[in-house]
Amino acid sequence: MNTFSNFKTFNEYIGLSEPLDQHIDVGVYPEKTRLKSEAVYIDFYRISFKTNYVNPGFPDYDSKKTEPITAVFFNSPGNLYEWNLTEKFEGYYLQLSKELIEANRYLFKNYLEYGYHEALFLTKEEEIEVIRLYQFLLKHYQRNFKEKNILRASVNLILNMVESYYKRQFKTEIKMYSPIVSEFQQLLRDYYNGPIEGVPTVHYFANKMKLTPNYLGDVLKTYTQKSAIATIHERTTNRAKELLLETNLTNAEIAFELGFDYPNYFAKFFKKQTQLTPRQYRVKQKTKNS
Task: Annotate 85-135 with three-state secondary structure.
Answer: CCCCCEEEEEEECHHHHHHCHHHCCHHHHCCCCCCEECCHHHHHHHHHHHH
Contact 24, 96 (CB under 8 A): yes
- In tens digits, the chain (290 residues) has pLDDT values of 789 999 999 999 999 999 999 999 999 999 888 888 999 999 999 999 998 777 645 555 454 455 778 899 999 998 888 888 877 889 999 999 999 999 999 999 999 999 988 999 999 999 999 999 999 999 999 987 778 898 999 999 999 999 999 999 999 999 999 999 999 999 999 999 988 889 999 999 999 999 999 999 999 999 999 999 999 999 999 999 999 999 999 999 999 999 999 999 999 999 999 999 999 999 988 887 76
How much is the pLDDT for 236?
Answer: 97
User: Does the domain at residues 2-172 carry the CATH identifier 2.60.120?
Assistant: yes
Ordered by start, the domain boundaries in the chain are 2-172, 185-289
User: Does the domain at residues 185-289 carry the CATH identifier 1.10.10.60?
Assistant: yes
How much is the pLDDT for 141?
Answer: 93
User: Rounded distance, CA 171 to CA 23, Å?
Assistant: 33
Q: Do domains 2-172 and 185-289 have the same CATH topology?
A: no
How much is the pLDDT for 31?
Answer: 84
How much is the pLDDT for 68?
Answer: 75
How much is the pLDDT for 61?
Answer: 47
Q: Which amino acid is at 72?
A: V
DSSP state letter for 191 = G
Q: Which residues make beta-bridge pairs with 48?
A: 73, 93
Instruction: Please give the C-alpha separations between residue 108 and each of 158, 165, 181, 241, 283, in angstroms, as whole numbers.
Output: 12, 16, 25, 38, 47
How much is the pLDDT for 290?
Answer: 64
Instruction: Please give the model's pTM, rounded to 2 decimal places.
Output: 0.89
How much is the pLDDT for 80?
Answer: 86
The residue among 103, 106, 90, 109 whose CA lies nearest residue 30 is: 90
Instruction: Please give the C-alpha separations between residue 88 and each of 37, 57, 220, in angstroms, as whole numbers.
Output: 14, 15, 35
Contacts from 256-262 at CB under 8 Å and sequence distance 24+? 258/192, 258/196, 258/199, 259/196, 259/197, 259/198, 259/199, 259/200, 260/199, 261/198
